[in-house]
Amino acid sequence: MSDLPETVREIDRQITAYIERGVDSRDEDTFGELALAVFRLQYNGISLYRRYCRKRGIAPDSIDSWQQIPAVPTDVFKAAEFCLVPPHVARTFLTSGTSAGEEKGRVAYDPGGLGLMDATIRVAGKAFLFPDESRPTMLILAPSPEMAPHMVMVYGMNRLIENFGAPDSRFLIGPQGFQPEQLVFALEEATAQNRPVAICGGSFGFVNFFDYCEKRDYRFDLPPCSRCLDAGGFKGRSREVGRNEFIDMCVRYLGIPDDYSVNLLGMTETASQFYDDSLRNSMGAIIADRKKISPPWTRTLVVDPETLEPLPLGETGLLRHCDLGNRGHIFALQTDDLGVAVDGGFEVIGPAGPGEARGCSLTIDEMTEAMSS
Partner 1 sequence: MTQKLEVDGFYLPPEFSGEISGYDTETFQRGDVEVRLRTPRITRAVVGELCDYLRKNQETYLRSIPLGHIIEVLDRASRRWMDSGYIYRKLALQSIPVMTGFSTETVAASIDVEMESSLSEDMWRALRSEIGNPLYLDGFQHDPELDGYRRAFGPDLMVSFFSENIPALPHLLFMRAALVKSACLGKVASGEPTFAPMYLKTIAEIDPDLARCMAVLYWRGGEVGVEDAAFEQADAVIFFGGIQAVNSLIERIPRRIRVLIHGHKLGFGVIGKEMLTADRVDQLAAATAYDLSMFDQQACLAPHVYYVETGGQISVAAFAEKVAEETAILHTAMPRGEISTADSAAITQLRGKYEMRELRGDAVAVHAPPSGTDWTVVYEKNPGIFRPSPLNRFLRVVGVDDVLQVLPIVKAIGPFLQNAAVAIGDEREQEFMAKLAEYGVARITAPGNMPVPSMMWHHDGISPLAALLRWCDIEKKEGAKGLRIQVVK
- Residues in contact with partner 1 by the rule CB under 8 A: 48, 51-52, 55, 72-76, 78-80, 305-308, 316-318, 334, 336, 338, 352-364, 366-367, 369-371
Q: Minimal distance in Å, beta carbon 36 to partner 1? A: 22
Q: Minimal distance in Å, beta carbon 267 to partner 1? A: 13
What gap in Å lies between CA 130 and CA 283, rounded to an integer?
10
Nearer to partner 1, 285 or 360 (CB): 360
Say if residues 114 and 90 touch (Cβ distance below 8 Å): yes
DSSP secondary structure, 181-243, as one string: HHHHHHHHHHHHHT--EEEEEEHHHHHHHHHHHHHHT----PPTT-EEEEESTTTT-S----H
Nearer to partner 1, 215 or 358 (CB): 358
Q: Minimal distance in Å, beta carbon 96 to partner 1? A: 15
Nearer to partner 1, 248 or 365 (CB): 365
Provide the greatest CA pair distance for the chain: 64
Please, which residues bridge with residue 332 across strands?
322
What gap in Å lies between CA 276 and CA 279, rounded to an integer?
8
CA 130 vs. chain centroid, Å, equals: 17
Q: Minimal distance in Å, beta carbon 361 to partner 1? A: 5
What gap in Å lies between CA 365 and CA 352, rounded to an integer?
13
Nearer to partner 1, 101 or 167 (CB): 101
Best CA proximity match to 261, nearest among 252, 250, 274, 253: 250
Nearer to partner 1, 27 or 304 (CB): 304
Q: Minimal distance in Å, beta carbon 31 to partner 1? A: 25
Nearer to partner 1, 35 or 76 (CB): 76
The helix (run of H) or strand (run of E) holding residue 35 is helix 28-45
Nearer to partner 1, 37 or 302 (CB): 302
Sign, CA dihedral 236-311-259-251, equals negative
Q: Minimal distance in Å, beta carbon 113 to partner 1? A: 20
Q: Minimal distance in Å, beta carbon 320 to partner 1? A: 11
